[in-house]
Amino acid sequence: MIIIDGGLSNTLPPSTTSRLWCAQFLLDDPQAIYNAHSAYLNAGAHIITTSSYQASFEGFKSQGAVTDKEIQSLFCKSVELAHDAIANHLATHSNQNLGIALSVGCFGAHLCNGSEYTGQYPSSTTEQDIYKFHHERIDAMLSVDSRYRTYLKWIAFETIPNLLELKAILNWIREHIDLLMTHALKVWISFCCRDESHLSSGELLKDACLIVEDLLFDDDALHKRVVLGVNCVHPRHVDSLLDILETNAPSFDRICYPNSGEEWDDVLKEWRAGTMEWSPREFAQMARSWTERHQLIGVGGCCRIGPDYISQYLHR
């Protein structure tokens, strides 16, 4: 069982209004990111995700990074910080199989308009646009010096809200199997869903499963390297969503890392007080239930799920 970390923003200083979100700290306060990774490792997480979810070439340029070389170094910094956090953690904690997942947030996240939760991208957006967007970010992170690749284990395509983006990702995976094998990387694709059966876009999660099965099922090399899941979904919907993955893509391993279920006030740009329904202990009980019922290989948290929630999973 893999324990994935929680939302990175939960352990960072008060949130920024930057279009880079947590990646802004790569520019302003890298130590804060290192500290956040360390907090999750100390809580018992096996996999920590890089601070690159909302990072983009366009976003970094908007914050003053002028050249592509500068931007590439910032993407690399996200990997270096995660590596250093694990290396230092292992100096005092032995026999732990720890790793890094390159966080590849959905195309909608960099638009900063909430479209990861609606799946509604500009009408001019093409599958090739999304492919290129993901490719340049992954390429930048994998350009990191080899000494920082020790713990790289996953590429995490996160909060995927529509079928257009799924197809772009699957094509990228199919065209880069040699790269995945060279770096000994696996991939997880986690969907963002609006309810118990639909992606954020309103398209059916079932249809997403069928597309994955159609494109990857007969390719053993790829099939063994891809895991499906859901993230940043309401905990109430997790069981139903995992049932759909299990039924319609039964040959793929599964993960989940939902949010807290709290309500976000898009006007005040803050979480509504009193909308959290579960304590860390209660959330951990649900997570154990999902793990056992759906035979998950990984579980963790997303927005508003911090180290205290992750640590409770380990304490029955």
pLDDT beyond 60 at 12: yes
Which pLDDT does position 291 carry in this prediction?
A: 96
* The pLDDT value given to residue 272: 80
3-12, 101-110, 265-274, 299-308: range with lowest mean pLDDT = 265-274
Task: State the average pLDDT for the chain.
Answer: 93
Q: Which of the residue ranges 115-119, 135-139, 271-275 has the most confident prediction, judged by mean pLDDT?
A: 135-139
- pLDDT of amino acid 269: 66
Question: For position 13, what pLDDT does the model report?
Answer: 84
pLDDT at 15: 60
Distance, in Å, from the CA atom of 222 to the CA atom of 218, rounded to the nearest integer, reads 9
Determine the average pLDDT of the residues in 231-238: 96
316 pLDDT tier (thresholds 50, 70, 90): low
- Residue spans of the domains in the chain: they are 2-313
With a pLDDT cut of 70, the percent of the chain lying above it is 97
Residue 36 · residue 12 · CB < 8 Å: yes
The CATH number of the domain covering residues in 2-313? 3.20.20.330
pLDDT at residue 124, rounded to an integer:
97
State how beta strands 264-265 and 254-257 pair.
Answer: unpaired
Lowest mean pLDDT among 3-12, 87-96, 214-223, 269-278: 269-278
In the structure, what pLDDT confidence band is assigned to residue 75 with cuts at 50, 70 and 90? very high
Q: What is the pTM of this model?
A: 0.96
